[in-house]
Amino acid sequence: DTAVSQTPKYLVTQMGNDKSIKCEQNLGHDTMYWYKQDSKKFLKIMFSYNNKELIINETVPNRFSPKSPDKAHLNLHINSLELGDSAVYFCASKSLGLREQFFGPGTRLTVL
């Protein structure tokens, strides 16, 4: 009965590969986010979707493409992975009328 779930929890891959991280929330929220936490522990927003529409798109490389098939899912696809993409990626969701976000457990991506 996890509120926000992410798969996989760990992802180890080679440079140049393409990979996806999936996120699902069962809270009925209408806004979902992707964050990247780098080696300096800085938690930085990447994307936000509201009702399947992109509302926040921070300056991230075009290799990162979010996809929201429905309100409960926001997946992150990364093309041509680079060493600098190694980080922990967190998915989060919230209700439009509220301010508190609910986070998933994170996906630790390691690019070799």
Partner 1 sequence: DQQVKQNSPSLSVQEGRISILNCDYTNSMFDYFLWYKKYPAEGPTFLISISSIKDKNEDGRFTVFLNKSAKHLSLHIVPSQPGDSAVYFCAALYTGNQFYFGTGTSLTVIP
Structure tokens at 28: 């009925």
Residue of 13, 22, 95, 102 that binds partner 1 (CB under 8 A): 102
Number of residues that bind partner 1 (CB under 8 A): 24
CA–CA gap between residue 48 and residue 29 (Å, rounded)? 12
Residue 100 binding partner 1, by CB under 8 A? yes
Q: Toward partner 1, which CB reaches closer, 15 or 55?
A: 55
Q: What is the DSSP letter of 63?
A: T
Among residues 43, 42, 47, which one has the least CA distance to residue 61? Answer: 47
Which segment (13-21, 30-38, 62-70, 74-82) binds partner 1 by CB under 8 A?
Answer: 30-38
Query: From residue 35 to residue 74, what is the string marking binding to partner 1 with x (rule CB under 8 A)?
Result: x----xxxxxx--x-x----xx------------------
Cα dihedral value 42, 66, 6, 33, nearest 10: 50
SS3 97: coil
Residues that bind partner 1 (CB under 8 A): 4, 31, 33, 35, 40-45, 48, 50, 55-56, 90, 92, 99-106
